Amino acid sequence: MKQLFFSSLIIFAFSTKISAQEKTCLVSLEAINGVYTGDCDKGKANGKGKSIGTDQYDGEFKDGYPDGKGTYTWKDGHYFIGNYKKGKKEGKGDMYYEGAGGADSVVTGFWKKDKYIGEYEKQYVVIAYSGRVNKVECSLTDKKGQDIFITIHRKSGGGAVQTGSTATPVVNDVQHVSGTFYTRSNQVMTNSSMTRIQQVVFPFRAIFTFSNGESAEILFNEKGNYDVYVDLQ
């Protein structure tokens, strides 16, 4: 009887300790704050753990927030598997929704500060350019388009604008590594030239060679119209 009493006392003390840990290990995200089990440091969820509130999260924590890889499940059943940073979706992940027929519908891509930015982390990447190219700048101007506009600008060493066909290079070759395009046209102006590459199939990666022998390699991930500015020495 005495042994049973001490066993019960030990179980009660252990249960009380666990309960105290759950209460003192802070989960800072209100929607999942409730019952927490897992690693704890300095009174906050740190490491691997699971927290169940209105929603629930199972994965890595840092300073009380989901931080790292984990699975977040909303109360309506849809869930996200991917990376978090201070409680917000950040980086690559997969969002699962239950479809009308019962099958899951999946959105795969990248998130930044809890917002979906697209299938690719970057809309474009300037991979490389040759030695006499000062800089290459790109911008996505219209997500409904399929054209790339490349403007080449060249200045003399003293800063004065040079003129003439030899001083205003154009894009005279497009070597596509991936994707394709329909046609290319050039327009030469006083101090620059513009090449329009039409009906591009994305993702599109190509090496653009200019008439002065210089070149630039660019990867365009997302469909749309792009403006590319090339500054030459």
Domain residue ranges in the chain: 2-118, 124-232
Q: Phi then psi for 132, rounded to 5 degrees? A: -95, 10
Check: pTM over 0.85? Answer yes or no: no
Q: Is residue 32 a contact partner of residue 54, using CB atoms and an 8 Å limit?
A: yes
pLDDT band for 2, please (50, 70, 90 cuts). very low
* Per-residue pLDDT at 154: 83
* Per-residue pLDDT at 156: 55
The distance from CA 106 to its chain's CA centroid, rounded to whole angstroms, is: 17
**Residue 185 tokens, joined:** 């046209």
* Per-residue pLDDT at 190: 80
Whether 165 shows a pLDDT value over 60: the answer reads no
CATH 2.60.40 fits 124-232, yes or no: yes
Q: What average pLDDT does the segment 116-135 reach?
A: 94
Give SS3 for 55: coil
* Per-residue pLDDT at 116: 93
What DSSP string runs through 141-163? Answer: EETT---EEEEEEEB-TTSPBP-
Whether 200 shows a pLDDT value over 90: the answer reads yes
- What is the C-alpha separation between 203 and 220, in angstroms, rounded? 6
